[in-house]
Amino acid sequence: MIEIHVPASKSITQRALLIAALSARPCRVRNPLDCHDSEAMRRGLRQLGVGIDDSQPECWIIQPPAVFSVPSQRLNLGNAGTAVRFLAGLAPHVPGIYVIDGDKAMHTRPMPGLLDALKSLGVDIEELGNAGCPPIRFESLGPEVSSSRPQLVNTRLSGSSQELSALLMSGCRNSDGLEIEISGTLPSRPYVAITIDVLASFGIKVSWQADNEIRVFPGTPQCDEYVVEGDWSSASYPLAASWLTKKPVSLQNVNDESVQGDSAVVRLIRQLDEPGARRMDLGDTPDLVPTIAACALFSSEPTEITNVAHLRIKESDRIGGLVNELSKLGAKIEEKPDGLVVYPASENLRAATLDPTNDHRLAMAFGLVSLRLPKLDIRDRDCVAKSYPSFWEMLELFR
């Protein structure tokens, strides 16, 4: 039995850091994930005047400021989508002008719904690059003025659930909270559930009684100590490795009762052994798509993955990336507007060089394929540090 200690959740770490920065008193965040994305979040929060002691890897101490500082330089957050959107969401509470920027890939990742909502809350916004994408200039008169604005916003949030999460976390500090009417179809809903769960741990109430209406009640978050649970997105990789190699695995540091949507990976991998072609709607669990696609190559029946058009605006176009790169192996992959179909190809695959285009989830999916194609060459291997720094060491346990 291979025992794997699953890394802490990146999604929960990012939310805990942001909410702790909005709190009334210091918070100890235990078992955080130290990765590229959380480093970008900490860097940005420090520029906004948040005190962060991360000298002890197992416990970071977050000291919220009385008032957020106005950064003297751009917040350059690389390709950390959560950091970009969550720190943009703070704009109503920052008394002045600041610019959020990212790397070349982030310059093509839009957040129009969030920007429209912030404008309705009184933030002056100037888009300095592609429409709806960083770099973006924010100007606000600060919390006293923003709290007097109407606290009902109607916005289209169809690109990323991170936009809604950013509004919920920031909105709790408005004097009347924030009520959001959502137009369009919201993807990745379980990630909003994660946000609500972390807010609840900090004493903040959120009501989501209708599909298109959600309200965060006013309050100042308070939590002396918050423990980050293990990451089900990361857990998908050892579970998939176990399925591919038939080596049993035991996972440590995961919560079977977690609100994380990616806990569905246990059920999804089990479906790969069921007879007949299968159709999987992964709209709520898009991070599992590369994992399932990698395994589906070695299943006995075709696997269709649907409702994941939003994968095209992640760190890369993940649908196009999976189709283009896995096809190099001789696999038959059919691309669709909102997904893909993977046909079994285990007996016909050949080794090749695969390029994940610096996308951590594609690199890890290609790593899973390498368990069955040992001579596979994968570029940009270090990009896994975005979410799972010890991924390659974990994978070696299954060889």
Q: How far apart (Å, rounded) are the C-alpha atoms in residues 228 and 204?
A: 17
Nearest to 168 by CA among 210, 205, 140: 205
The count of other CB atoms within 10 Å of the CB of residue 126 is 11
CA angle 199, 139, 163 (to 5 degrees): 35
Nearest to 184 by CA among 207, 208, 155, 209: 155
Q: Whats the size of the chain, residue-wise?
A: 399
Q: Phi and psi (nearest 5°) for 109?
A: -110, 100
From the candidates 37, 287, 355, 359, give the one annotated as an active-site residue. Answer: 287
176 has catalytic annotation? no
Nearest to 84 by CA among 61, 51, 60, 115: 115
- Cβ distance 338 to 302 under 8 Å? no
The count of other CB atoms within 10 Å of the CB of residue 350 is 12
Buried b (16+ CB within 10 A) or exposed e, 128-150: eeeebbbbbebbbeebeebbebe
- Cβ distance 71 to 65 under 8 Å? no
Q: Is 373 exposed, middle or buried (0-12, 13-18, 19+ CB in 10 A)?
A: middle
By DSSP bridging, strand 249-252 and strand 225-227 are unpaired
Residue type, 252: Q
Asked, as a colleague might, if the bond just before 135 is cis with ω within 30 of 0, I would say yes
Q: Which residues contact 129 (CB under 8 A, 6 or more apart)?
A: 107, 135, 136
- Cβ distance 266 to 236 under 8 Å? no
Catalytic annotation, residues: 287
